[in-house]
Chain A
Amino acid sequence: MNVLREKQIPRRTFLRGCGAALALPLLDVMQASGAKSVQPPKRVAFFYTPNGVAQTAWHPAETGHNFALSRTLQPLEPLRKKISLFTNLDRVKVPGTDGHAQAGACYLSTAAPDELSPAGYPLKRTIDQVIADTVGKATPFRSLELSCNSFTDNRESVYFDNISWYGHGHVARSIKDPRKVFERLFNVQEHRANGSVLDLVLADAEDLQGKLGRLDRYKLDDYMDSVRTVEQQIERITKRQVDIRDIDIEEPEKLWTTMRRDEYIQIMGDLMIIALQTDLTRVSSMMVAPERWSTPLMFEDVFVKPIDHHGWTHNQKNTGVLGDLEKLDHFHMRQFARISAKMDAIQEGEGTLLDNMMFTYGSGLSSGMLHECTNLPTVIAGSAGGLLKTNRHEQHAKGTPIANLWVSMAQIMGVKTDRLGDSTGSLKGFLA
Chain B
Amino acid sequence: MMKQYCFRCHGVKKVKGKVNLEVLVKRADFLKHIEITQHAAEMMAKAEMPPEDEKQPTKAERAKLAHFFDDLVDEYLQSNTELEPVVMRRLNRYEYNNAVRDLLQLRGDIYPLPEKVIRSSNYFDPSTGRMPDSVNAGNRTLGKNIVEKQILKGVDPFAIDLQAEHGFNNQGEQLSVPPILLESLLKLGRAIVNSPEFDGYSGLRNTLFKDNGKPVETRLRTFLERAFRSPVESQVLKRYAAFHAAEQKRTGLYSQAMKSVVAAVLASPKFIYVVESKNGIGKMAPASDYELAQRLALFLWSSIPDESLMAAVRKGELRNSEVLEAQVRRMLNDHRSRALSENFARQWLRLDQLITAVPDFDRFQVYYSRIGCEQWKFGLQTMVEPLLLFESVQVEDRSIMLFVDSNYSYRSDELQAWYTSPENPFESKENRNRFSTHTQNFHKRILGNRREGGVITTAAVLTMTATPLRTSPIKRGAWVAATIFNDPPPPPPDVVPEIEADDAAIEARGLTIRERLKQHATDQTCASCHARIDPLGFALESFDPIGRWREKYSSGLPIDSSGKLFGEAEFKDIEAFKDAILERPEKFMRAFTEHLLSYALGRELKITDKPSIDKITRRVVADHGRFSTVVVEIAKSIPFRHKTGQNESK
Binds B, one of A82-90, A152-160, A374-382, A412-420: A152-160
Contacts of B361 in A (CB 8 A): 305
Mark the stretch among B49-57, B128-136, B178-186, B312-320 that contacts chain A: B178-186
**Number of interface residues, chain B, beta carbon within 8 A:** 72
A201 and B468 form a contact (CB under 8 A): no
Q: B268 is contacted by which of A201, A222, A371 (Cβ under 8 Å)? A: A201
**A35 adjacent to chain B (CB < 8 Å):** no
| Residue contact B264 to A219, C-beta cutoff 8 Å | no
For the complex formed, measure the closest distance between the CB of A209 and the CB atoms of chain B, giving whole angstroms.
10
Is the beta-carbon distance between A158 and B174 smaller than 8 angstroms? yes
B646 & A214 in contact (Cβ 8 Å cutoff): yes
In the complex, B159 has a CB within 8 A of chain A: yes
* Main SS class of interface, B: loop
Q: How far is the CA of A98 from the CA of B180 in the complex (A)?
A: 27
Residues in B neighbouring A207, C-beta threshold 8 A: 233, 236, 270
Which residue of chain A has its CB nearest to the CB of B184? A180
A99 at the A/B interface (Cβ < 8 Å)? Answer: yes
| Interface status of B360 (Cβ within 8 A of chain A) | yes
A61 interface residue, CB < 8 Å from B? no
Q: Which residue of B lies closest to A170 (CB)?
A: B176
Q: Are B269 and A220 in contact (CB under 8 A)?
A: yes
Instruction: Please name all residues of chain B whose beta carbon is closer than 8 Å to the beta carbon of A229 when the two chains form the complex.
Output: 179
Partner of A370, one of B169, B173, B494: B494
Check A330 for interface membership: any CB of B closer than 8 A: no
Q: What residues of chain A lie closer than 8 Å to B647, measured between beta carbons?
A: 214
CB distance from A371 to the nearest CB of B (A): 4
Instruction: Evaluate contact between B648 and A314: CB separation under 8 angstroms.
Output: no
A196 close to B (CB within 8 Å): yes
- Asked if B496 contacts A314 (CB within 8 A), the reply is yes
* Interfacial residues of chain B within 262-311, with CB under 8 A of chain A in the complex: 263-264, 267-270, 272-273, 275-279
Point out the residues of chain A lying under 8 angstroms from B494, CB to CB.
99, 369-371
B332 to chain A, nearest CB (A): 27
A315 close to B162 (CB less than 8 A): no
Whether B356 is near chain A, meaning CB under 8 Å from some CB there, is yes
CA distance A318 to B177 in the complex (A): 44
Q: Which residues of chain A are near B172, meaning CB under 8 Å?
A: 169, 215, 219
Residue in B183, B236, B352 whose beta carbon sits within 8 Å of that of A154 in the complex: B352
- Is B186 touching A197 in the complex (CB atoms < 8 A)? yes
Flag whether A303 is at the interface (Cβ < 8 A).
Answer: no
Chain B residues within 8 Å of A315, by CB:
497-498
Q: Scan A163-186; emit 1 where CB is below 8 A from any B CB, else 0.
A: 000100111110110000000100
B11 to chain A, nearest CB (A): 19
Chain A interface: which size bin?
A: 35 or more
Residue among A154, A194, A213, A296 making CB contact with B160, cutoff 8 Å: A154
Chain A residues whose C-beta falls within 8 Å of the C-beta of B187 in the assembled complex:
190, 193-194
> By the criterion CB–CB under 8 Å, are A152 and B183 in contact?
no
Contact among B178, B243, B278, B356 with A152 in the assembled complex (CB-CB below 8 Å): B356
Whether the Cβ atoms of A222 and B85 lie closer than 8 Å is no
A154–B162 CB distance below 8 A: yes
Given A170-B178, A305-B468, do A119 and B173 touch, yes or no (CB 8 Å)?
yes
Q: How far is the CA of A227 from the CA of B183 in the complex (A)?
A: 9
Bound Cα distance A66, B440 (Å)? 64
Does chain A have a CB within 8 A of B91?
A: no
Q: Which residues of A contact B178 (CB under 8 A)?
A: 166, 170-173, 222, 226
In the complex, chain B residues whose CB is within 8 Å of the CB of A196: 260, 264
Chain B residue nearest in CB terms to A156: B162
| Contact residues of B between 169 and 218, Cβ < 8 Å to A | 169, 172-174, 176-183, 186-187, 189-190
Closest-CB distance, A375 to chain B (whole angstroms): 16
In the complex, whether A118 has a CB less than 8 A from a CB of chain B is yes
* A219 engages B183 (CB within 8 Å): no
Cβ-defined contact, B267 with A219, below 8 A: no
CB of B422 within 8 A of chain A? no
- Does A285 interact with chain B (Cβ within 8 Å)? no
**With A200-B268, A305-B360: A216-B179 Cβ-Cβ less than 8 Å:** no
**Chain A's nearest CB lies how many Å from the CB of B87?**
5
CB–CB B182/A223 < 8 A? yes
Q: Is A95 an interface residue (CB 8 A)?
A: yes
User: Assuming the A-B contacts A98-B491, A306-B468, are A204 and B236 also in contact, with contact meaning beta carbons closer than 8 angstroms in the complex?
Assistant: yes
* Any A CB within 8 A of the CB of B557: no
A75 to B57, CA, bound (A): 62
Minimum CB–CB distance from B170 to chain A (whole Å) comes to 13
Tell me, yes or no, whether B495 is within 8 Å of chain A by CB: yes
Which B residues are CB-close (under 8 A) to A101? Answer: 165
A190 to B233, CA, bound (A): 31
In the complex, which residues of chain B have a beta carbon less than 8 angstroms from the beta carbon of A156? 162, 165
Pick the most buried of B87, B177, B236: most chain A CB atoms within 10 A of its CB. B177
In the complex, the answer to whether A169 meets B173 with C-beta atoms within 8 Å is yes
Please state if B352 and A153 are interface contacts (CB–CB under 8 Å).
yes
Q: Which residues of A contact B165 (CB under 8 A)?
A: 98, 101, 156-157
Most buried by A among B176, B360, B491: B176
- Per the bound structure, the CA–CA distance linking A158 and B278 in Å amounts to 27
A314 touching B497, Cβ below 8 Å? yes
Do A219 and B176 contact each other (CB < 8 Å), given the known contacts A193-B190, A213-B648, A255-B148? Answer: yes
**What is the bound-complex CA distance between A394 and B352, given in angstroms?**
45
- Is the pair A208, B275 in contact by a Cβ cutoff of 8 Å? yes
* A223 contact set on B, CB distance < 8 A: 176-177, 182, 269, 272-273
**Closest CB in chain B relative to A102 CB, distance in Å:** 11
B401 CB-CB contact with A under 8 Å:
no
A295: interface (CB < 8 Å): yes
Q: Which of A152, A171, A184 is in CB contact (< 8 Å) with B114?
A: A152
Q: Nearest chain A CB to B97's CB is how many angstroms away?
A: 16
Assembly CA distance A213 to B277 (angstroms): 7
Bound complex: CA A278 to CA B2 (Å): 68
Q: Are A153 and B353 in contact (CB under 8 A)?
A: yes
Interface membership of B143, Cβ < 8 A: yes
Taken together as a complex, chains A and B put the C-alpha atoms of A425 and B647 apart, in Å, by 36
Mark each residue of chain B from 376 to 388: 1 if its CB lies under 8 Å from any CB of chain A, else 0: 0000000000000
> Do the beta carbons of B495 and A155 come within 8 Å of each other?
no
Whether, in the assembled complex, B239 has its beta carbon less than 8 Å from a beta carbon of chain A, the answer is yes
- Residues of chain A within 8 A (CB-CB) of B148 are 255
Q: Is the CB of A219 within 8 A of B273?
A: yes
Q: A171-B178, A207-B236 are in contact. Are A219 and B160 (CB under 8 A)?
A: no
Determine whether the beta carbon of A226 is less than 8 Å from that of B268: no
CA distance A176 to B177 in the complex (A): 17
Q: Report which of A215, A226, A314 forms a contact with B177, defined as CB distance below 8 A.
A: A226
B101 on the A face (CB < 8 A): no
Partner of A157, one of B85, B159, B163: B163
Q: Which 5 A-B pairs have the closest CB atoms?
A: A315-B498, A213-B646, A213-B278, A216-B88, A197-B264
Given contacts A98-B491, A153-B354, 13 further A-B contacts (CB under 8 A): A118-B173, A155-B356, A157-B165, A194-B186, A198-B186, A207-B270, A213-B645, A215-B646, A216-B87, A295-B353, A296-B356, A314-B495, A370-B494
Binding site for A on B (CB under 8 A): 18, 85, 87-89, 114, 143-144, 148, 159-165, 169, 172-174, 176-183, 186-187, 189-190, 233, 236, 239-240, 243, 260, 263-264, 267-270, 272-273, 275-279, 352-356, 358, 360-361, 467-468, 491, 494-498, 645-648, 650
Binding site for B on A (CB under 8 A): 95, 98-99, 101, 118-119, 145, 151-158, 161, 166, 169-173, 175-176, 184, 190-191, 193-194, 196-198, 200-201, 203-205, 207-208, 211-216, 219-220, 222-223, 226-227, 229-230, 233, 255, 257-258, 295-296, 305-306, 308, 311-312, 314-315, 317-318, 321, 369-371
